[in-house]
Amino acid sequence: MTLRILLADDHPLTRAGLAHWLQAHSRGRLQVHASVASTDALLEALHGGGADLLICDYYLPGGSQADGLALLAQLRQAFARLPVLVLTALSEACALGGILASGAAGLVNKRAPLAELLKATLQVANGRRYVCRHSQAILAERYLAPSHWPNEGRCVLSERETEVMALARAGLTIPQMAARLGRSAKAIAVQRRNAFDKLGLRAEALIYHGPEATGGSRCAG
């Protein structure tokens, strides 16, 4: 059976190149039946039906709809059964985990070999998650196990743990957080440790990051 792919990317050469390569190397298993350049065109194409799988650039400007995590959440709500494979240049573990938490079935870095994109496409089409080797290496530096990768994109912390992690991500030390929140340093340390355990973060994980490191995305606590 030939799988019908909807390809979404705002660069015409990228769309044409990926479509040609996937179809030429998939032995008839894949067909790019449509390609679009904006979120508006993407949603219109999806409502028209016919796609078995979506390959989508994480950043998809040029439309009135939001892109990134907001678009992924919208796709999960409106097209829950459609597998989505995301292409991205992001290299921050928290942002990559957020993409997985938003319902993406596959994640491939734009620097990955084309052969790996083909492998990812076929695996996602068969109902299995795929994360490229480049992204896996980044995620492994921050999280204890693959099951923890999406945790920072989900609300799994208590209110106090969320407050502590928000300040930790802003670069505050435990004494500074204690002074800001009016708690003891011991309580802050316990809440931080509990948050680390729930999120599956390695003890040496770097918590502080700015918007420039995640492409504007944020880890939710």
The residue ranking higher by pLDDT, 209 or 152, is: 152
Lowest mean pLDDT among 26-35, 55-64, 200-209: 200-209
Select from 154, 181, 155 the least CA-distant residue to 168.
Answer: 181
Identify the burial level of 79 via C-beta atoms within 10 angstroms of its C-beta, where 0-12 means exposed, 13-18 middle and 19 or more buried.
middle
Q: Does residue 212 have a pLDDT over 80?
A: no
Cα separation, 20 vs 12, in Å, equals 12
Asked if 69 and 215 touch (Cβ cutoff 8 Å), the reply is: no
Mean pLDDT of the chain: 89
Q: Which helix (H) or strand (E) holds 39?
A: helix 39-48
Q: Does residue 64 have a pLDDT over 60?
A: yes
Q: Does residue 210 have a pLDDT over 60?
A: no
Close Cβ partners of 76 (under 8 Å, ≥ 6 residues apart)? 84, 102, 103
State residue 51 phi and psi, 5-degree precision: -95, 135
Cα separation, 87 vs 55, in Å, equals 7
In this predicted structure, what is the pLDDT of residue 204? Answer: 78
In this predicted structure, what is the pLDDT of residue 194? Answer: 95
Residue whose token pair is 């992001």: 90
The fraction of the chain above a pLDDT of 70, given in percent, is 92
Same-fold call for 3-143 versus 155-214? no
Q: Of 3.40.640.10, 3.90.650.10, 1.10.10.10, 3.20.20.70, which CATH number belongs to 155-214?
A: 1.10.10.10
Cα separation, 48 vs 22, in Å, equals 23
In this predicted structure, what is the pLDDT of residue 63? Answer: 77
Question: Where does 3-143 sit in CATH, by number?
Answer: 3.40.50.2300
The fraction of the chain above a pLDDT of 90, given in percent, is 80
pLDDT category at 207 given cuts 50, 70, 90 is low
Q: Which two tokens stand for residue 130?
A: 């795929």
Asked if 82 and 106 touch (Cβ cutoff 8 Å), the reply is: no
CA distances in angstroms from 156 to 113, 198, 208, listed in the order given = 35, 7, 19
134-168 tens-digit pLDDT: 999 999 999 999 999 998 887 679 999 999 999 98
Question: In 40-178, which ranges are E strands?
Answer: 53-57, 84-88, 106-109, 130-131
The residue ranking higher by pLDDT, 104 or 94, is: 104
Residue whose token pair is 């802003």: 170
Per domain, the residue ranges of the chain are 3-143, 155-214
Q: Which of 48-52, 66-70, 151-155 has the highest mean pLDDT?
A: 48-52
In this predicted structure, what is the pLDDT of residue 219? Answer: 53
Q: Does residue 171 have a pLDDT over 70?
A: yes
Pairing, β 84-88 against β 130-131: unpaired
